[in-house]
Structures are given as C-alpha cells and as structure tokens.
Amino acid sequence: MASYPRIGVVGGTGAVGTVTLGLLRDRGYEHVRVFASARSAGTEVHGYLVEEATTEALERGDIDIFLFSVGTGASLALVPHAVAGGAIVVDKSSAYRLEPGIPLVVPEVNPNRALEHNGIIANPNCCTIPLTCVLKPLHDRAGLKRVRVATYQSVSGAGAKAMDKLAHEASKDHDLRMDWEFDGVEFDEESKLREETRKIMELPNLAIQATCVRVPVMVGHAETVWIETEEPLSAADATSILGAAPSIRLDEFPSPGKAAGEDEVLVGRIRQDTTVEGNYGLTLHLASDNLRKGAALNAIQIADLLVSALASR
C-alpha cells in the first residue's frame, strides 16, 4: 500500500456509491477514483470522472483499497480481479459475507477481524450493522439468549431505481412491500440478518428470528428488537450501557427521518419486556441511515482500520 491510500469506489454512481464519495471527501481521503459500468463511464459524479470498471482497470495495481457498492453478480465477477491486482476489497454485496475465511466486519463490534483478510472483507447487510452495534454491548454485560427483530426498511435499500419509483408514485399507491427472494418460509433478507449477526457476534447458535418489510420511506431503516439475556439486565442499566456505546445515540423516539443523514444509530423505547419473567427481557427500537452507517460509512470505517494498521507498523 502506498504511503497515502489510493481508494477506488466501484459502483460510484449508485445510491450507496454517491454517499461513499461524499463521506470520503469529508474524512480527508484525497486520492479517490470512481468506477462504474460502461454506461456511466465518462460522466462525472461529485466532481470525479467515472471510469469503466473493466477487469483490466481493476487488475492494474494502482489502487490500494477498493470499496465495492455493486450487486452480488457484479461483485462475484469483478472482486477477484481487484484482489489479483494487489488491492484490498471491502465488498458491500452479499457475495462474500457468509463465506468461510472472509471476515464480516462492523468496526464497533469485531474490528480485529478486518486485519485477518486474504484480500476481501465483507460489509454486512444494512440492518445487521445497526443491530449488532446495539447487541454487542448488551451481550458483553449480560449475554444474549434470544433475539427477535422486526425491520421497517426504506426503499433506498433496494437502490436508486426504487427511490425514483417512490418519488413518482402517488401516495395512494404507497404500501408495505416484501421484495426479497422468498423460499416459501422466509425471505432471504431475514436469513441474512440471522446468519450475519451470528457470524459477526461469533455466536453461531444464537436464537434469532427476523421479520422484514419494506416501507414507503426514502432513506432510513428502523428495527424493533426483543432481547432475552442470560443474566438479568434492567432497562435503566441497558440505557446506560447503550448511551456509552460507540456509534449509538439515545433518542426517545427514533425514526428514519431523524436518522437520515446521521452517522449514529439512534436507539430508544428501551423498556422491560413484560412477557419475560424477571429482568431477563428487553424491548427497544432503533433507526439508522441505511446508506451511511448501514453501508457506505461502515465500509469507510473498515478502510480506516486498514490504513491505521499500516501506519502503526
């Protein structure tokens, strides 16, 4: 890696990619290049000239860290070429998240795993990231026994085309949607949330059940979470723990609108779950910007870890 990190953003014209470029600029990254499809090549985004993401360009060896914000198929096709060129890839898609030996990283939860890569680091699902930010400090204090979660996910999680569709849709046509692959029992979004949480938390047998829906909101995902702990934990203590946890901000009534444009996970409605005897059950509500902490910011935080590790050598 060069003395200064050379960053390549693949998929830089998409919903997450454009947010990534703004965050990189805000965080002082100066050597940034943008790659996208042939259709976007030659255009400009955030003042950057867009280059075509060809296999030759990715293998050239003049990028240190690639941040991929493309679909699963494109990642599977292109990421190996970027790695072959000597770069480290932080990939946002689901292509590599559950692959053995590939770290799945939330810097507030398992930062050391980012340094155990063989060229690829996976960026988790946009609901898994804020959920694990909340679960980690509670697990450290009282242990997790069971987790149930209901998600309310904005259309930006489905990409720029879905955002444009909502923007031009009559309000009478707004409805809940479930637009993920369905196996007859659950959506793949629900299984992703379960398996990714287990991997990140390193709790392979954690009992976790998810129900996911898409709501007619442009940006910001919300989740209601029911938690059972191994040791008693009061709502007051949980509030204190979460208030001191990294990347979390307490808010009495978290909502996607409040979270949009913010870097923190908003957490509130923290209370005892009265269906669980004793102080072994909690209920809370969270909201986060799925394009920022749920995607782009988490990837950049991983890049920050890589750069810091190099600087400390």
Residues recognised as catalytic: 126, 221
Q: State how far the Cα of 202 lies from the Cα of 101, in Å rounded to an integer.
A: 13
SS3 of residue 160 by DSSP: helix
SS3 of residue 206 by DSSP: coil
174 and 216 in contact (C-beta within 8 Å)? yes
200 and 109 in contact (C-beta within 8 Å)? yes
Q: State how far the Cα of 199 lies from the Cα of 193, in Å rounded to an integer.
A: 10
Kindly compute the dihedral angle of the four CA atoms of residues 8, 9, 12, 14, in this order, to the nearest 10 degrees: 160
- The overall longest dimension of the chain from CA atoms, in Å, is 62
Backbone angles phi, psi at 219, to 5 degrees: -140, 140
Q: What Rg value do the Cα atoms of the chain yield, rounded?
A: 19
Q: State how far the Cα of 275 lies from the Cα of 73, in Å rounded to an integer.
A: 43
CA–chain centroid gap for 53, Å, is: 23
CB atoms within 10 A of CB 64: 20
Helical axes 128-142 vs 188-201, angle rounded to 10°? 40
